[in-house]
Homo-oligomer: A and B are copies of this chain.
């Protein structure tokens, strides 16, 4: 069996490693456009801001280590065409420009996503991207090359944008975070996102919401100012941290179907609609288990799992990626932020009948020193009581607590049952009623379900 993998990060390398272990005789080629394999893209903001010293720390496994395992990793190599009938991929060497066809029995497309950049004056010239580790290294080198960096504008107030802005402020750079939306983190509801915004502002990040980028001005090769429809921000660098678009052009041209999200349609085994072509990671659609909708969620955790699943099905072993429930977490200053399931905005858009519980509590027992503050928002479906989603924003160790709600969402657990689950309790970790169970109780009550404790 000859497997060609396009994309050498989480999904691609998880699959290649898995196939290597299952089929010792398989011929495995990985084609990666950049120079790194298998790195933590989520760590890039910490590297840019200098919390992490070396880009190499983010690399889980170097190309050479994969080669020693018998995986033919080719960096600086870009796939430029797929011929699904002939079962070949055309690969161009980024350095030399040379091109050759690679024959495959099975192809795994794991080429991720790329920043969606509008064509505005100056953005090509002055904008920096943080999608890949190569880009992260380039940006950090640029920041360090400036005699003195005073102002940086970050466009996009999502996870990555917020993390970078915080990281910059932590290192003495004035960061302005711009977003065209009226709130940060649009994966949260506005009434939860406001706490995150307050944390960012309290830390010294300038947050400019409802502003759309118009142009970037500079001179002598350096950025000078960023112009939006509302203001002009002086800036020695512009970092683009907006959402990314799945890389699907080649498989689409080869006949692979795309879903409504613009990502590749795959079955539970990560097979596209074209025989012999698999896909995994940021470029595919998957099922949202709460809404039932097909979604494109670009997160390393899914890419790793989907890569493992593809690694098995590529070897004709049974495996199925069940879907996602929209779990995500991040940390901004001392605040931990996590969400799972549907936000209220999403539930409303779907026309679901639900109730909301929104309250605050403490991360530890209220009488303990430094009890911490946690804002909680949860929603459950009328009739069934099924938990639809949860959002947590707080100090103290609250983010990983979302995993309990994620498990409830994954399994369709109803709040009236969840309130009596045997969750842990000790004063350093919370009150005698777990916060998620306080929410479950409130929802059970407001939905008129039994037992209403």
B400 pairs with A322, CB closer than 8 A: no
A453 closest partner in B (C-beta) = B308
**Binary flags per residue of A379-416, CB closer than 8 Å to B gives 1, else 0:** 00000000000000000010111111011101101000
Task: Indicate if A326 sits at the interface (CB-CB under 8 A).
Answer: yes
Task: Indicate if A324 sits at the interface (CB-CB under 8 A).
Answer: yes
Given contacts A406-B421, A426-B329, whether A453 and B312 have CB atoms under 8 Å apart is: yes
B305 pairs with A424, CB closer than 8 A: no
B318 pairs with A451, CB closer than 8 A: yes
Task: Indicate if A84 sits at the interface (CB-CB under 8 A).
Answer: no
Task: Indicate if A254 sits at the interface (CB-CB under 8 A).
Answer: no
Task: Indicate if A260 sits at the interface (CB-CB under 8 A).
Answer: no
A433 closest partner in B (C-beta) = B304
A425 pairs with B301, CB closer than 8 A: yes
Q: Which chain B residues lie closer than 8 Å to A407 at the CB level?
A: 404, 407-408, 413, 421, 423
Task: Indicate if A262 sits at the interface (CB-CB under 8 A).
Answer: no
Q: Which chain B residues lie closer than 8 Å to A319 at the CB level?
A: 450-451, 453
Task: Indicate if A245 sits at the interface (CB-CB under 8 A).
Answer: no
A450 closest partner in B (C-beta) = B318
A426 pairs with B331, CB closer than 8 A: yes
Which listed segment binds B: A23-31, A63-71, A206-214, A364-372? A364-372
A426 pairs with B42, CB closer than 8 A: yes
Which listed segment binds B: A51-59, A85-93, A129-137? A51-59
A424 pairs with B367, CB closer than 8 A: no
B450 pairs with A423, CB closer than 8 A: no
A432 pairs with B326, CB closer than 8 A: no
A406 in complex: contacting residue of B42, B329, B411, B422, CB < 8 Å: B422
Q: Which chain B residues lie closer than 8 Å to A422 at the CB level?
A: 289, 301-302, 323-327, 340, 406, 410
Q: Which chain B residues lie closer than 8 Å to A18 at the CB level?
A: 453
Enumerate A252-302 residues with CB–CB distance to B below 8 Å.
289, 299-302
A58 pairs with B367, CB closer than 8 A: yes
B427 pairs with A402, CB closer than 8 A: no
**Binary flags per residue of A311-323, CB closer than 8 Å to B gives 1, else 0:** 1100001111111
B427 pairs with A46, CB closer than 8 A: yes
Task: Indicate if A309 sits at the interface (CB-CB under 8 A).
Answer: yes
A321 pairs with B427, CB closer than 8 A: no
Enumerate A185-238 residues with CB–CB distance to B below 8 Å.
none
B399 pairs with A400, CB closer than 8 A: no
Q: Which chain B residues lie closer than 8 Å to A369 at the CB level?
A: 51-52
For the complex formed, measure the closest distance between the CB of A313 and the CB atoms of chain B, giving whole angstroms: 9
Task: Indicate if A244 sits at the interface (CB-CB under 8 A).
Answer: no
For the complex formed, measure the closest distance between the CB of A303 and the CB atoms of chain B, giving whole angstroms: 9
Most buried by B among A325, A400, A401: A400
Given contacts A309-B451, A450-B317, A453-B308, whether A301 and B400 have CB atoms under 8 Å apart is: no
Task: Indicate if A328 sits at the interface (CB-CB under 8 A).
Answer: yes
Pairs across A and B, CB under 8 Å, 19 listed = A18-B453, A42-B365, A43-B365, A46-B427, A52-B367, A301-B433, A302-B422, A305-B453, A308-B451, A318-B450, A322-B417, A322-B421, A330-B428, A399-B429, A400-B430, A403-B434, A407-B407, A407-B421, A410-B422
Listed in ascending order, the chain A residues whose CB lies under 8 Å from chain B are 10, 18, 40, 42-43, 46, 51-52, 57-58, 159, 289, 299-302, 304-305, 308-309, 311-312, 317-331, 336, 338, 340, 365, 367-369, 397, 399-404, 406-408, 410-411, 413, 417, 420-430, 432-434, 450-453
3 shortest interchain CB distances as A-B pairs = A397-B397, A319-B451, A329-B424
